[in-house]
Structure formats: C-alpha cells, structure tokens
Amino acid sequence: MAEFNNPKEYEEKFDPRLYLETYFHLGSGSLADNFIRFQEEQFHKAFSSGKVKGHTLIDIGTAPSIYQLLSACEAFDEIIATSHTQRELCELQKWQNREADAFDWSSILKYVCDLEGNRITMKEKEEKLRGKIKQTLLCDVSKSNPLAPAELPQVDCVTTTVCLEAACRNNEAYGLALKNICNLLKPGGHLLIGGDLGANYYEVGAEKIFSLPVNEKFLKDVVGENGYRIVELASFGRPEGDDDASDYEGFYFIHAQKV
C-alpha cells in the first residue's frame, strides 16, 4: 500500500532557510555542488533543445528553492510554483518580494547565466524568473489533483526536484505520485524530474530528513508504468570523498512524456 510522509515532517522538522544555507551556495564544497551543476546542466540542455517549451509549466514542491526554474523561464510564458508547507512558502515569498533577508541565489544564478552564454545579467535573469511565476499554490503529491483545491487546465510541462523521494515512503507511493502528477499534464506534455539515487536521508542542521532510496532500474520501470514514456534518463555517480550529510549514491535526471 502506498505510504506518504508524515505531513508534519516538513512543517516542523525541516528548516527551509537552513536547507538553503547548507546546500545552495555553489562552490562552498557542500555535497550539493555536484548536484547543482548536474541538475542545472540537464535543465539547460532540455530547455535549450527547443523540444521542451510551451505556455505553462508547473514545478511541484518548488519552495524554498528556485534553482530548478532558472532555465525553464527561457522556454515557458508562465510558471506555477508550489509548496507543500506554509513555512517553505514564506521563505520562497521573501525571494519573490525581494525582501532584504531573502536567500542569496547569486552563486547559482552565475552558473546558469554562464551556461546560457551570459545573454542577460544575473539580475535580469532573477527578475525574468520572478516575472514568469504567475501563481504560487500549495501542493500534495499524494492527492489525485496535487494542487487541490485549485483546478487548473492541463499544462505543457511539469518539473520536480528532490521532492518525490521526500514525499514518498515506499515505491508504491512514488508510482502513485507520478500518476497524480500525470493528471496535471496534457497528453504529450513533458515531465522533468531531478533527484538523488540511493539516499536514505539528508541532514539539515541536527535533523536527519527521510529520503526514499531509488535506483535507475526502479525509476525506468515506475515512470513507464504510470503514464509516461522515458525520453532520457541521465545519472551521475557519487564522487569519492564527498561529505556524509547524506548517504546518497548519485543523482538522476529524467525527461519523460505523457503518453
């Protein structure tokens, strides 16, 4: 039977600001440096290919992050950001509202602007993304409409990063979450998922946060069995000597299309 995370885990145990400060200063030597470079390169490749584009993109489990949307804003007119908790949403809103104590994304903005050939400045990029995020909604992938009570027309693309491993306590739940997300997509619409391979936990301060360990064979099967056709699955193995804030074995990025 599908089991999802305890709804209180992210509201009470997970400090979204500490998560950002720990993992999202690129070049700081955290284990997320490789993760960020890998995921940004994959998103850049997908969105600059000309094949993944359209009117609306929904990112599932956005808050408190925005790194996963920096390339998306070049290929879509509108982005719908989402959050599973109020606390994470508040952190995202600080960035949306340009508050003085919002998280500083400049190390990652620089990386993505470099990847895109510095056609625009980091500041312009940040403003472009802010302008494209037209709505911010609450989400729960355990629901057949993950954005309920909001009812939206089906969209061209859904993205999600390190969210399904956080939300799903077992493989059945991962499959059900994919099926639920599929309800948000038009037939032929694109699904881009980035995440960790083989991780049972990751640390945020003193808290060890649960992660569902997944491998490539499972991912290929579960995506294929829940309404999609895989276009590409890319992965990256854990480098020697990486710090032990997580027992992850690597990262993955999947591009799939709704059949």
Ligand X SMILES: C[S@@+](CC[C@H](N)C(=O)[O-])C[C@H]1O[C@@H](n2cnc3c(N)ncnc32)[C@H](O)[C@@H]1O
Tell me which residues touch ligand X (CB under 6 A): 4-5, 10, 61-63, 65, 68, 84-85, 88, 139-142, 161-163, 166-167
Cβ nearer to ligand X, comparing 91 with 156: 91
Q: In the structure encoding, which two tokens stand for residue 84, read together?
A: 């599973």
Cβ nearer to ligand X, comparing 18 with 233: 18
Cβ nearer to ligand X, comparing 187 with 205: 205
Closest CA to 15 of 120, 85, 82: 85
| Residue 46 to residue 49: CA distance in whole angstroms | 5
Cβ nearer to ligand X, comparing 120 with 171: 171
CB 94 to ligand X: min, Å = 15
CB 160 to ligand X: min, Å = 7
- Mapping DSSP onto H, E and C, the string for 93-145 reads HHHHCCCCCCCCCHHHHHHHHHHCCCCCCHHHHHHHHHHHEEEEEECCCCCCC
| Residue 95 to residue 168: CA distance in whole angstroms | 28
CB 10 to ligand X: min, Å = 4
CB 147 to ligand X: min, Å = 10
Cβ nearer to ligand X, comparing 120 with 245: 245
Cβ nearer to ligand X, comparing 84 with 190: 84
CB 142 to ligand X: min, Å = 5
Cβ nearer to ligand X, comparing 46 with 162: 162
CB 84 to ligand X: min, Å = 3
Angle between helices 16-23 and 86-96 (to 10 degrees): 60
Dihedral, CA atoms, 38, 44, 50, 56, nearest 10 degrees?
100
Dihedral, CA atoms, 65, 147, 134, 46, nearest 10 degrees?
60
CB 114 to ligand X: min, Å = 20
Q: Is the bond into 149 cis (omega within 30 degrees of 0)? A: yes
